[in-house]
Amino acid sequence: MRILFSLLLLFFTGSLIAQSIVPEWVQTYRKGRPIENVEQYYFGIGTGSNFNESDDQARSEFAKNIEIKIAKSIESILLENDEKIEEELRIKNLVSIEQTLRGIFISERFYDDERSEYLSLIRIEKEEYSQLIVRETELALKRKEEIFKQQREIRKLDEQIKDEKIVKEEKEIEYQRKILELKKEKSEIKREEHEEFLSCTSPRKLISIETACHPKYAFNTDFKLQLIPFRADKLDFFLAIGHFEFYVSSYWHDKIFRGRDSGLRLQLLPNIGRVIKYSLSVGMICTNFPAEAFNKSIKEMNYAPQITGTVCLPMYYSYATCHLSSKQIAVGINNYYLFEHLQDKICFTIEMKVIPNIKYRDKFGDLLLFQPGIHFQPSDMLGATFSFEENHKIIFTLEWSF
């Protein structure tokens, strides 16, 4: 009996000793006493398998328990400062756990060997914490206000740059508009200045090459005579209907029929432009050589595509033409030098022609031909041309238009 009493006494004494070793805050925590009942302090208690885990949990519990108090503190500061800017009201969300726990340290740690449990305590007086959170909040407010101020300055600068860019673009547009107006006015002035020349009939040909200009409806007959010695040289028929043109040319040499050219052309650009006008035509030319022209028993026929472009230059009273085909290459100009006095009655013409294929050359075999001429137009139906052709012929051409 005595032994049993001794054992009970020993057990009760050990329990009292163990209870006296366990800190009071651990005992309170294990009894489930809420930290709100403690008026002097804010608490945060955490447990874990080591002190790192218990410290982290203590910080988390501390922040969680005072989260509402933090928001109320910030809101009261905002109200005291009469801050009504929407962006600044968001500062309530600024105080994260790290900001909340800035200056907060673990107060005590305890290891319960019996339970193999680590416990950490954060304990700070309410008054001390209030001062701390007010200081942190004020610093956060100042930092945020500075950020807002910088952002407003940046937005203001961006808007200023944007406005300057818009103004610059508007000025550029206005400048371009004025340039276009000036160009248009200049074009109108030039057109009025050369209205008479632009309204005249465009030349149909150079010396031996058709220009890209032709009337919508016309029928012409050209009869060429070689003056020295006097004999027929060429006979042309020309028909224009709309943008289509058909022509036939027959030519002789030393009283021998040398061949016939027939062609069809389509005018793609009919005098496009207000002052400087452009014309372009494409077509096909067929050359038919009789057998006796080459002392052969079989006659020969060749087809050649062609393209012709003509530019009207009213400031020079001229038409410049370029002609390309597999048969020949030619450039030339029709100039109305006396237009101011004689209108379109006299036209000076220069044509340079390269003939790559020897079968199309004259009896001298000249590769390059320089052919000047002067055209007279006494009436709309009758015209005449004196020209120097093939580097040795003096030609008179009589033209009828119907």
**Where exactly are the structural domains of the chain?**
16-155, 199-401
Range list of β-strands (E), 314-391: 318-325, 329-335, 346-354, 368-376, 382-389
Selection from 10-19, 53-62, 142-151, 277-286 with the highest mean pLDDT: 277-286
Pairwise CA distance, residues 122 & 126, whole Å = 12
Contact (CB, 8 A) for 250 and 232: no
Pairwise CA distance, residues 201 & 206, whole Å = 14
**CATH for 16-155?**
3.10.28.20
Number of Cβ atoms within 10 Å of the Cβ of 362: 15
Q: Which of 310, 322, 319 has its CA nearest to residue 200? A: 319
- Structure confidence at residue 74 (pLDDT): 54
- Residue 191 to residues 315, 334, 340: CA-CA distances in angstroms? 10, 20, 15
Listed range (162-176, 203-217, 287-301) with the worst mean pLDDT:
287-301
Q: Over the stretch 349-400, which tens digit does the pLDDT of each residue have?
A: 999 999 998 877 877 888 999 999 999 999 888 999 999 998 888 999 999 9
Provide the 3-class DSSP secondary structure of residue 204.
coil
Tell me the pLDDT band of 26, cut-offs 50, 70 and 90. Answer: confident
Q: Over the stretch 228-272, which tens digit does the pLDDT of each residue have?
A: 888 888 899 989 998 899 989 888 776 777 778 888 999 999 989
Provide the 3-class DSSP secondary structure of residue 26.
helix
Provide the 3-class DSSP secondary structure of residue 275.
coil
Task: Indicate the residue type of 372.
Answer: P
Domain 199-401: CATH superfamily is: monomeric porin ompg (2.40.160.40)
- Structure confidence at residue 346 (pLDDT): 95
Tell me the pLDDT band of 127, cut-offs 50, 70 and 90. Answer: confident
Pairwise CA distance, residues 287 & 323, whole Å = 17
The answer to whether 16-155 and 199-401 have equal CATH topology is no
Mean pLDDT, to the nearest integer, of 311-331?
Answer: 94
Q: Both tokens of residue 210?
A: 């058709």
Contact (CB, 8 A) for 327 and 360: yes
Give, for 238, the enclosing helix (H) or strand (E).
strand 231-241
Pairwise CA distance, residues 242 & 181, whole Å = 34
- Structure confidence at residue 402 (pLDDT): 77
> Which of the two residues, 198 and 332, has the higher pLDDT score?
332
> Which of the two residues, 122 and 363, has the higher pLDDT score?
122
- Structure confidence at residue 310 (pLDDT): 97
Task: Indicate the residue type of 206.
Answer: L
Give, for 153, the enclosing helix (H) or strand (E).
helix 126-193
Contact (CB, 8 A) for 219 and 236: no
Tell me the pLDDT band of 316, cut-offs 50, 70 and 90. Answer: very high
Q: Judging by beta carbons within 10 Å of its beta carbon (0-12, 13-18, 19+), is residue 224 exposed, middle or buried? A: buried
Q: Both tokens of residue 10?
A: 């020993």
- The number of residues in the chain equals 402
pTM as predicted: 0.56
- Structure confidence at residue 114 (pLDDT): 84
Range 84-91 contact pairs with CB under 8 angstroms and sequence separation of 24 or more:
85/148, 87/148, 88/141, 88/144, 88/145, 88/148, 91/137, 91/140, 91/141, 91/144
Contact (CB, 8 A) for 244 and 265: yes
Nearest-5° Cα angle at 198, 195 to 201: 135
Q: Over the stretch 57-109, which tens digit does the pLDDT of each residue have?
A: 888 888 777 765 555 555 555 555 554 444 444 444 444 444 455 667 888 89
- Residue 193 to residues 30, 180, 188, 317: CA-CA distances in angstroms? 109, 19, 8, 12
